[in-house]
Chains A and B, each alone.
Chain A
Amino acid sequence: MCGLCGLMGIEHWTETSANSEAFISDTNRSIRNERAHRVELINRALGPLKMRVRDFQASSYTLTSATGRTEIVHDIQSLWVAVENISACPVDPLDPDYLDHLFGESP
């Protein structure tokens, strides 16, 4: 994570909290709840690569590989970069073989 991001309060476009004017609902999740849900979905997507992600103080995510290598990333975009760096292959949602692995356990 870049320290500047935290200082300047840069949030990713996928975070509803960064676009509160765009997401107006009676059933709005809290920030922590939204992050927990995102972590759950990402972990399902990472299942075939045997990697796990965890929320880190509601400001970052920690990504851990099967061998225990861990990286801290600021947002979901950086996460996919880190996944590719660690595992040498990306999560490719358009790979039919990958989708076959996810079959029956849709996120």
Chain B
Amino acid sequence: MIPVNIVTGFLGSGKTTLLKEILARPEFSDTAVIVNEFGEIGLDHILLEEVEEGVLLLQSGCVCCTIRSDLQETIRNLQKKVSDGEIPVFRRLIIETTGIADPAPVVSTISTERVINKHFYVGNIICTVDSLTGLSNLQSSPEASKQVAIADRILITKTDIADTIKRGLLENTLVRINPSASFRNSTGKNFDAKHIFLDEFRDPATRSDEILAMLKRDASLPKRMKRETSAHHHEISSFSVEFSVPIDWVAFGVWLTAVLHVHGENILRVKGILDVRESNTPVFINGVQHTMHPPIHLDQWPDENRYSQIIFITRAIHEDLIRRSLLQFLGLTTEGYHIQSAVDQTKLFN
């Protein structure tokens, strides 16, 4: 299976600079790249394809469930060129979206197109954020906030020319919008490309540390701060739901599929580890809007805590409703789950 990295980020945030830098590195020499348009910064790369916007709306789909027909065709053409010997075999595919694009249809295309998903899977979604203009973009543009909310990795660019206070404010905002993503800084050339692109949840060697870091980031945020962020960023908010007893995977699946059917467009991300009755060890779940990736088995718990913790990043959906609904579908009482606000209150005064 070939990993597909989606590089998103607002206009001028440094997506093409990032691509130009990594394509010069030997570890990315067998990477194919699909761009929406050939930009001003020339990319000199043998495996470069341009794609023009075109969409197919699935029968049951909302915007995020569209199959990008253009992308579908471009990926299939790439494979055909490889089999015809026109281009070398590639072992990674990077898709760069336009600055105002919604990355969700790209995820949907890779995950649901029945030929493509036999050969490709969605790897890390990378969002570049300009340290100079990022904060104002997040406040003024719903697209910019959504790109951050969907990302697995956030690369804060131009950090060498931004002042420390502005950078600090931006980082605080980003982690509140998306505590499930990890952050790295970039000055154009110096950044951790391995972490950004290569380390991923599917890799058994690194995923335990990844998941632990993600859960810790989320747990460190007081609920009050998340609510304040939601008010200023297009009603996007994050929260986590925790269960102290093993849950019924089948009931969880019934609940989540029904929720995503109606509200998938506004459930921007679902990530977490579950203590399920059907497994002695935790199960990792990961989804982008309507698209859920196959659950992953973890060999062990990432730390001494043994309970389910699910992080939701939603738009205009209140966490109390998610909690009440999930609890009811799982047939649990309030004793079966942790109330995050109690934890938050403690942290606020420490």
Contacts and interface: CB of A to CB of B under 8 A. Distances in A.
B326 to A, nearest CB: 8
A21 to B, nearest CB: 5
A27 B278 contact: yes
B77 interface: no
Interface residue tally on B, bucketed by range:
35 or more
B241 to A, nearest CB: 13
**Which 4 residue pairs of A and B lie closest in terms of their CB atoms, listed nearest first?**
A14-B253, A80-B261, A22-B297, A106-B331
28 contacts: A4-B114, A8-B114, A10-B114, A14-B249, A14-B256, A14-B257, A19-B294, A19-B297, A22-B279, A23-B295, A25-B280, A38-B254, A41-B250, A78-B60, A80-B257, A84-B261, A90-B262, A92-B258, A93-B325, A94-B262, A94-B263, A96-B321, A99-B324, A102-B328, A106-B330, A107-B251, A107-B328, A107-B331
Contacts of A38: 250, 253-254
A14 B293 CA distance: 10
B67 interface: no
Contacts of A76: 253-254, 257
Interface in B246-275: 249-251, 253-259, 261-263
Interface of A: 4, 8, 10, 13-14, 16, 18-19, 21-29, 34, 37-38, 41-42, 45, 76-78, 80-81, 84, 90-94, 96, 99, 102-103, 106-107
Contacts, number: 113
B295 A24 contact: no
Contact of A93 (B255, B276, B278): B255
Contacts of B281: 24
A90 B253 CA distance: 17
Nearest to B326: A93
Nearest to B60: A81
Given A81-B59, A93-B258, 6 more contacts: A14-B257, A22-B297, A23-B279, A24-B280, A25-B277, A25-B278
